[in-house]
């Protein structure tokens, strides 16, 4: 998968979060975006998802520029698997209902086929027994797994995961990270914002460090963690890996 | 530990036996007091009984008016709440002006002005339908606010998730927002229904033969104030208490589910 950012700028009020970013990344499976809070990781992910539009500049995914108008952005989103930190699921629908909703309403698949496909994905993530439960009856880890199942069920071109384990305790984090590893093996490209450095190191092909309105460093995961070039990255890693 | 006069924790720690005992004693005491004070004025039941059909017709009218106004005001409230979220500014401001004006005026003023002012001016003389429309416009403003609060109570993440899976705005309202809003607003809307039943009594001022009008008429005909108005109060309570209990039940249900 290839992404290309051309003088990409995004501000919220007086704060410029991404400041004329030029960046090119090519990776086989997983790109991890790491960096300090407020540095622009999640903003970049939302732009890639087509949830927000940049103030200026453009994004090319696999050579195709992201559309500008809302209707075509919506179609882009419907072919992209997006998972947020928490509260992804619709609380009034069962796990199965959550996975089925985009299949039937966005992709026009008939209910019976959608049900079969949704159950297949839930089974794959060992959630078949929880299919009828409402999100409130699921654990945090199960909820995130259902959210990933929902994102995957539409057979997206790639997956964008925005800190999918930040709201979870260590055990549930491990349970969700297992699922992400499995996804990686299935071959769907993943772009992942994460604070789990160990996970980024072991499972990502490439790591981009985002801070101060841009991409400060981009390298293969092993190289990034063993031999960071930028002092800011070195400092960040030292601080975060201290305990 | 010394027990104080006021409760110092969220729930009432009273024992069931104490509750039952207190309720029985209070019931006896208050009904005794009422009996001593008013028994001599509750004597004219035979004459009032002769007007029971008038009374029951009034009661039926009150129920009918309230039910019709509930349906109409729910429709008005839903449309107004949507208009307040419209991107088209004239629509949004019209809806806001309607809600703020109606909520700022007493219902009695609306009834008088609506009937003797507006309805008369346009030659609309059917009291019952004018009354239902005025009551619906009044209650609709409150329901619009309830629905608006319900929509705003749905978190930002739900809108994001709906957009993320590729739902259109209309689909987002239909499949994600409204089902959640409905569950949130059911208790306050049920409460609004109870208000509607009580507020319909003000329509007696424009001569609609509903329950209060009937009781007032019986009082004028029989000079039996207590015998006319005690059943009046009881008839309203028979309608509003179940609604109030239902509201409490709905509230507890919403709380458990979220």
* CATH number of domain containing B124: 1.10.3720.10
Picking from B155, B158, B166, the nearest residue to A106 by CB comes out as B166
Do you know the residue count of chain B?
A: 258
CA-to-CA distance for A167 and A86, rounded, in angstroms?
Answer: 7
- State the average pLDDT over residues A37-49: 92
pLDDT band at A84 (very low <50, low <70, confident <90, very high): very high
Which pLDDT score, from 0 to 100, does residue A87 have? 82
**pLDDT exceeds cutoff 80 at B3:** no
B162 to chain A: which residues are within 8 Å by CB?
Answer: 90
Per the CB < 8 A criterion, the answer to whether A81 and A30 are in contact is no
B258 to chain A: which residues are within 8 Å by CB?
Answer: 91, 136
Q: Give the minimum alpha-carbon distance from A228 to chain B in angstroms, rounded to a whole number.
A: 34
- State the average pLDDT over residues B45-55: 85
Picking from A84, A134, A136, the nearest residue to B157 by CB comes out as A84
Q: For B208, how many CA atoms within 13 A lie in the half-sphere containing its CB?
A: 30
In a domain, B238, yes or no: yes
In a domain, A204, yes or no: yes
Count of beta carbons in the 10 Å neighbourhood of residue A218: 15
- State the average pLDDT over residues A169-185: 86
Q: For A79, how many CA atoms within 13 A lie in the half-sphere containing its CB?
A: 7
In a domain, B30, yes or no: no
Taking the CA atoms of B167, B173, B178 and B181 in sequence, report the sign of the dihedral they define: positive
Which pLDDT score, from 0 to 100, does residue B62 have? 93
In a domain, A89, yes or no: no
Which pLDDT score, from 0 to 100, does residue A89 have? 94
- pLDDT tens for residues B158-186? 999 999 999 999 999 999 998 899 888 88
- State the average pLDDT over residues B252-258: 63
What is the largest distance, in Å, between two alpha-carbon atoms of chain A? Answer: 56
Per the CB < 8 A criterion, the answer to whether A98 and A146 are in contact is yes
**Beta carbons of A106 and B175 less than 8 Å apart:** no
Q: What are phi and psi of A46, to 5 degrees?
A: -65, -35
Q: What is the DSSP string of B91-102?
A: HHHHHHHHHHHH
pLDDT band at B248 (very low <50, low <70, confident <90, very high): confident
Picking from A51, A86, A106, the nearest residue to B167 by CB comes out as A106
Chain pair A-B, CB pairs under 8 angstroms: 62
Three-state DSSP at A183 gives helix
- Assigned token pair, B246: 């239902």
CA-to-CA distance for B125 and A113, rounded, in angstroms?
Answer: 58
In a domain, A128, yes or no: no
Torsion of Cα atoms, B166 then B168 then B170 then B175, to 10°? -10
Residue in this structure with the two tokens 């409402």, named with its chain if needed: A134
In a domain, B230, yes or no: yes
In a domain, B24, yes or no: no
* % of chain B exceeding 90 in pLDDT: 58
In a domain, B10, yes or no: no
Q: Give the minimum alpha-carbon distance from A90 to chain B in angstroms, rounded to a whole number.
A: 7
Q: According to DSSP H, which parts of A94-220 are helical?
A: 95-101, 111-124, 140-153, 170-186, 197-203
**pLDDT exceeds cutoff 80 at B94:** yes
Which pLDDT score, from 0 to 100, does residue A167 have? 84
pTM over 0.90: no
Which pLDDT score, from 0 to 100, does residue A242 have? 79
pLDDT band at B227 (very low <50, low <70, confident <90, very high): confident
In a domain, B44, yes or no: no
| Mean pLDDT, chain B, whole residue set | 89
**Beta carbons of B179 and A88 less than 8 Å apart:** no
**pLDDT exceeds cutoff 60 at B258:** no
**How many structural domains comprise chain A?**
1
**How many structural domains comprise chain B?**
1
- pLDDT tens for residues B32-42? 998 888 887 77
CA-to-CA distance for A225 and B3, rounded, in angstroms?
Answer: 63
CA-to-CA distance for A33 and B22, rounded, in angstroms?
Answer: 66
In a domain, B36, yes or no: no
**Beta carbons of A106 and B165 less than 8 Å apart:** yes
**pLDDT exceeds cutoff 60 at B2:** no
Range of the domain at B100: 54-257
**pLDDT exceeds cutoff 80 at A189:** yes
B161 to chain A: which residues are within 8 Å by CB?
Answer: 84, 87-90
Per the CB < 8 A criterion, the answer to whether B103 and B142 are in contact is yes
**pLDDT exceeds cutoff 60 at B1:** no
CA-to-CA distance for B27 and A152, rounded, in angstroms?
Answer: 64
- pLDDT tens for residues A209-229? 999 889 999 999 889 999 888
CA-to-CA distance for B138 and B117, rounded, in angstroms?
Answer: 16
Which pLDDT score, from 0 to 100, does residue A151 have? 94
Which pLDDT score, from 0 to 100, does residue B44 have? 79
Residue in this structure with the two tokens 């090119």, named with its chain if needed: A24
In a domain, B27, yes or no: no
- State the average pLDDT over residues B210-224: 89
The pairing of strands A190-193 and A214-220 is unpaired
User: A102-111, A177-186, B5-14, B48-57: which range is least confident on average?
Assistant: B5-14
pLDDT band at A122 (very low <50, low <70, confident <90, very high): very high
| Residue of chain A minimizing CA distance to B177 | A90
- State the average pLDDT over residues A87-91: 90
**pLDDT exceeds cutoff 80 at A243:** no
CA-to-CA distance for A208 and A35, rounded, in angstroms?
Answer: 8
pLDDT higher for A30 or B253?
A30
Give the CATH number, domain containing residue A25: 3.40.50.300
**Residue B82: enclosing H or E segment and its boundaries?**
helix B52-83
**pLDDT exceeds cutoff 80 at B13:** no
The B-side interface with A (CB below 8 A) comprises 155, 157-158, 160-168, 171, 175-176, 179-180, 183, 257-258
**pLDDT exceeds cutoff 80 at B124:** yes
**pLDDT exceeds cutoff 80 at B254:** no
pLDDT band at B199 (very low <50, low <70, confident <90, very high): very high
- State the best of A87, A148, A156 to mutate against chain B, taking most chain B CBs within 10 Å: A87
CA-to-CA distance for B160 and A6, rounded, in angstroms?
Answer: 25
Range of the domain at A198: 1-79+157-169+189-243
Residues 6+ apart with CB under 8 A from B225: B41, B219
CA-to-CA distance for B170 and B178, rounded, in angstroms?
Answer: 10
- State the average pLDDT over residues B183-200: 90
CA-to-CA distance for B154 and B252, rounded, in angstroms?
Answer: 19
Which pLDDT score, from 0 to 100, does residue B6 have? 82
Picking from B157, B166, B175, the nearest residue to A77 by CB comes out as B166
Picking from B161, B166, B183, the nearest residue to A88 by CB comes out as B161
**Beta carbons of A51 and B179 less than 8 Å apart:** no
CA-to-CA distance for A95 and A150, rounded, in angstroms?
Answer: 9
Please choose, from the candidates A73, A98, A79, A67, the residue with its C-alpha nearest in 3D space to the C-alpha of residue B169.
A73
Planar angle of CA A98, A131, B162, nearest 5 degrees: 5
């Amino acid at each position: 998968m290839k992404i290309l950012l051309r003088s990409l700028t995004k501000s919220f009020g007086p704060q410029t979060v991404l400041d004329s970013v030029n960046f090119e990344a090519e990776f086989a499976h997983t790109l991890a975006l790491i960096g300090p809070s407020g540095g622009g990781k999640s903003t970049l992910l939302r732009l890639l998802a087509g949830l927000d539009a940049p103030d200026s500049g453009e994004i090319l995914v696999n050579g195709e520029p992201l559309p500008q108008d809302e209707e075509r952005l919506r179609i882009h989103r419907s072919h992209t698997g997006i998972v947020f930190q928490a509260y992804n699921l619709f609380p009034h629908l069962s796990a199965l209902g959550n996975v089925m909703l985009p299949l039937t309403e966005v992709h026009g698949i008939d209910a019976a086929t959608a049900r079969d496909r949704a159950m297949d994905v839930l089974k794959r993530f060992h959630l078949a027994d929880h299919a009828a439960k409402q999100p409130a009856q699921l654990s945090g880890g199960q909820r995130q797994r259902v959210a990933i199942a929902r994102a995957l069920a539409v057979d997206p071109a790639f997956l964008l995961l925005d800190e999918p384990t930040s709201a979870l305790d260590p055990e549930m984090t491990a349970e969700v990270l297992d699922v992400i590893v499995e996804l990686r093996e299935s071959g769907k490209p993943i772009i992942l914002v994460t604070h789990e450095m160990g996970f980024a190191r072991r499972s990502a092909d490439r790591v981009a460090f985002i801070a101060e309105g841009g991409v400060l460093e981009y390298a293969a995961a092993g190289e990034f963690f063993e031999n960071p070039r930028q002092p800011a990255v070195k400092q960040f890693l030292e601080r975060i890996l201290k305990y | 530990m010394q027990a104080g006069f006021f409760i110092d924790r969220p729930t009432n720690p009273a024992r069931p036996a104490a509750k039952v005992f207190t309720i029985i004693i209070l019931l006896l005491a208050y009904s005794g007091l009422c009996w001593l004070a008013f028994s001599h004025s509750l004597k004219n039941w035979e004459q009032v009984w002769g007007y029971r059909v008038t009374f029951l017709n009034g009661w039926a009218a009150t129920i009918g008016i309230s039910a019709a106004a509930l349906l109409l005001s729910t429709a008005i409230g839903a449309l107004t709440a949507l208009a307040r979220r419209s991107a088209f500014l004239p629509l949004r401001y019209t809806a806001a002006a309607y809600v703020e004006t109606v909520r700022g005026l007493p219902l009695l003023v609306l009834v008088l002005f609506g009937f003797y002012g507006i309805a008369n001016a346009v030659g609309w003389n059917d009291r019952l339908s004018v009354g239902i429309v005025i009551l619906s416009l009044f209650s609709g403003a409150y329901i619009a606010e309830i629905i608006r609060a319900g929509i705003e109570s749905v978190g930002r993440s739900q809108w994001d998730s709906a957009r993320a899976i590729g739902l259109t705005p209309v689909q987002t309202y239909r499949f994600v927002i409204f089902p959640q809003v409905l569950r949130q607003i059911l208790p306050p809307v049920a409460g609004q229904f109870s208000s509607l039943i009580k507020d319909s009594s003000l329509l007696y001022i424009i001569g609609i033969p509903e329950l209060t009008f009937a009781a007032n008429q019986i009082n004028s005909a029989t000079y039996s104030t207590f015998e006319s108005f005690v059943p009046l109060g009881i008839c309203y309570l028979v309608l509003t208490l179940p609604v109030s209990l239902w509201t409490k039940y709905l509230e507890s249900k919403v709380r458990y589910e979220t």
